[in-house]
Amino acid sequence: MKDHKKTLPIKAKLPLFSLLLVLMLIQGAININLVQNNTVPSNADLDNPTIKNLSFKTSESHPVYCTGNFFDMAEDLDGDNLYDHVVLIFGINATQIFLNLSVVITIQPLMVNQTPIGEKFVVTENYVGLAIGIHNLRISLVNASRFHNLGQDLMFNIHKLRIIRYHELMSSYAYAVFTDDDLYTTQIYLKSNFEIFVRFTGQIWDRGEDDDFNWRYDYLVVEIEVDIIQAGKYSVEMNLVTESSISGKKLTGSNQSSLKKGLNIISIRFAAESLRELKINGSLVVTNIIISDNTDVIIFQTNPNFITQKYSDSDFDIHLIRINGNNEFTLFVNAERLRGVGSPLDPYIISGFNIMKLSSQNYFIHIKNVDVFFQITNNFLHNGKTAIFLENVSYCLLANNNLNNNKLGISLINVNECVIRDNSIINHDTGISLIYADNNVIKSNTLDKNTRGIKTLRSNNNVIVNNSISGKRKQTIEDIGLVIGTSSEYNLILHNDFQNNYINAIDLSLNNVFESNFWNDSTDEDYYRIPDDISGVSTNNYDRIPSKMPNHMIGPKFISPSGGACLDSVVKIIWLAYDTLDHALTYEIYISTKNNSWSLLTTGLTLNYFEWDVRNVTDGQYKIKIVVYDSLGFSSWEISDWITIQTPINPTNIVSPFIGMIILIIVCSSLLIKTT
């Protein structure tokens, strides 16, 4: 039996382009349904505004054009009897299917008397597509936040309307298919009818804030109270000026916070550094407060002209010290009531400043172009770009400063006759940098965990002595303790201690002298090679008498025992040790017999005294070794002379104490009887 298949006649088959046309019409129908379902809202609450019908010069031959019907209204979306935005609704006629359209409107706010305020601004609405026919499009002209920002009762003039079609194949290409100017002016809207998200209660107060308890303010804090109608994320910006210079330099502070519904306190903090630069001597004035929503639209702005308490710039901590020239140095010293007159016998002294938590773009102390005598001592400088930067200066002392986690610790450019001593310089790209710096002394500094400990360039006749230079524990090829750079000659590198650097030192110049330095990677040779390139190969220079022990560690030296026989049950071990750089010390004690290696007796000691209980120790000869470690990992040791451990023999007790007491009583009793 044959299988009869039904076939359509050829005329009934849809060609491919017809199928595409059907699909486009279906899509257009869906889109037009979405648009036309968005009908014109009720205008019962808007004093019955009328739809305006305007005539245009544009030809209806355009693929899309305005019908001339315009209507505007305000809408309350959340039912709180306040408007959320102003909407423009207008008619257009599409003569073909559009898959991708945008409407761009340029508007300008007008006062009630139709006087323009501010600049024109543009609003845009994107539409997925339109089918053929007449449609009512709607676009939000301004929301409640922006309306309140404009600050008064308003109407809006529609200056330009553009309908833009994006090319289906080239999405970056667009062109206008309809445009016209001065089309339409909306009705008047009252500011009081629009929703308010934030209300400023008018409460403002100020205070100084001392974070590091050094009796100076680190911040001036100005606080305001706001009533949040709708919880969300808000930004507050505030401007300050000095009372004596309302039109002068101003400070701007800001804060961005997520605020809950109800009363909130917002704090704006102004850094001490900025306040000192403002030269405060009296009150400050809050001239402007701006509150924006999470889209950066200004929803509130006021000029309260609030006057703060009276402050002086000396009330605030110094977060930057910038001095250029002798006159500025004198003014700075007088303003800060610092010691000294800048002479050799009475130098200026910059001391006791605690500067930290600034961005990496700042120099903490920058002094240049001075020839007075000065000292920078006992300062705490952390987390900056360069802690101390000296340029074109002489006759200075940098001592006992704590520098940590800056990009550069101490930088000297064209600096002469200065002493850098007893500083702690930790965790920098470069600890100390000398460029065109001659005849300086770098002495007894602790440089730890720096990529470059000390680096010179074109610097001569400097003395680098008794420094502890240790690198990062996880080393890379860039970690070098000391770099004597090009054109740096006749420098003396003496009694320094090097440890944990990828390369301890490199000498790229001539005529530099290395002597009596401790090198933790030293071999058994009687000299230490100083590489002249990063590969570590050297034919250039040597430390010909390297130190076997770190120079900054004195001891340990035995006091007791001093050798010989020890007959007691406890051996008292006493020693002396000292660290010239004041590093914390800990100790380990080892013992050994003639036939055995060293065995650990005790560890983790912090006192230089230990009692060794030898009651259970085998008699014989022993040596004692004490190892001392500093906080950077440097170590030193001392070994005692031979001592003889001999366990004491207790004499045999012939009469027990109890029997002896009985005998004593009997003897005493007999003597008493005889006497009677």
Q: Dump the DSSP string for 495-512.
A: S-EEES-SEEEEE-SSS-
**Alpha carbon of 141 to those of 4, 75, 107, 146, 180: distances in Å?**
66, 12, 8, 10, 17
> Distance between CA 517 and CA 501 in Å, rounded?
14
Residue 651 counted as domain residue: no
CB 463 within 8 A of CB 434: no
**Residue 22 dihedral angles phi and psi, to the nearest 5°:** -60, -45
> Distance between CA 262 and CA 260 in Å, rounded?
6
Helices (H), 326-429: 326-336
Residues 575 and 598 reside in one and the same domain:
yes
Residues 84 and 223 reside in one and the same domain:
no
- Number of compact structural domains in the chain: 4
- Three state DSSP letters for 158-210: EEEEEEEEECCCCCCCEEEEEEEEEEEECCCECHHHECCCEEEEEEEEEEEEC
Helices (H), 567-653: none
Please indicate, yes or no, whether the overall pTM of this predicted structure exceeds 0.75: no
What are the structure tokens assigned to 506, written together?
């490199």
> Distance between CA 464 and CA 390 in Å, rounded?
18
**Residue 668 dihedral angles phi and psi, to the nearest 5°:** -65, -35
Residues 35 and 178 reside in one and the same domain:
yes
Residues 66 and 158 reside in one and the same domain:
yes
Beta pairing class for 620-630 and 643-645: antiparallel
State which of 193, 216, 240 marks the end of a domain: 193
> Distance between CA 83 and CA 79 in Å, rounded?
9
What are the structure tokens assigned to 100, written together?
């991708």
**Res 358: pLDDT:** 55
Residues 67 and 163 reside in one and the same domain:
yes
Residue 575 counted as domain residue: yes
> Distance between CA 376 and CA 356 in Å, rounded?
16
State which of 130, 165, 193 marks the end of a domain: 193
Residue 362 counted as domain residue: yes
**Tens-place pLDDT, residues 374-426:** 999 999 999 888 999 999 999 999 999 999 999 999 999 999 999 999 999 99
Beta pairing class for 363-368 and 321-324: parallel
Quote the domain boundaries for residue 126.
30-193
Residues 523 and 557 reside in one and the same domain:
no
Residues 531 and 392 reside in one and the same domain:
yes
CATH classification at residue 405: 2.160.20.10
Residue 8 counted as domain residue: no
**Res 537: pLDDT:** 62
Residue 283 counted as domain residue: yes
**Res 179: pLDDT:** 62
Residues 106 and 120 reside in one and the same domain:
yes
Nearest to 234, CA basis, from 174, 289, 172, 175: 289
The residue ranges of the chain whose pLDDT is under 70 are 1-61, 166-182, 214, 245-248, 319, 357-362, 473-474, 534-539, 648-676
CB proximity list for 605: less than 8 A, separation 6 or greater:
586, 587, 588, 589
**Res 16: pLDDT:** 44
CATH classification at residue 291: 2.60.40.10
Exposed / middle / buried, residue 124 (Cβ in 10 Å: 0-12, 13-18, 19+): exposed
Exposed / middle / buried, residue 39 (Cβ in 10 Å: 0-12, 13-18, 19+): exposed
State which of 160, 193, 226 marks the end of a domain: 193
CATH classification at residue 150: 2.70.50
Residues 374 and 291 reside in one and the same domain:
no
Residues 269 and 300 reside in one and the same domain:
yes
Residue 568 counted as domain residue: yes
> Distance between CA 28 and CA 95 in Å, rounded?
12
Residue 548 counted as domain residue: no
Q: Dump the DSSP string for 196-249.
A: -SEEEEEEEEEEEE-SS-SSSBSEEEEEEEEEESS-EEEEEEEEEEETT-TTS-
Residue 528 counted as domain residue: yes
**Res 246: pLDDT:** 54
Residues 135 and 158 reside in one and the same domain:
yes
What are the structure tokens assigned to 365, written together?
């102390």
**Res 301: pLDDT:** 79
Residues 188 and 206 reside in one and the same domain:
no
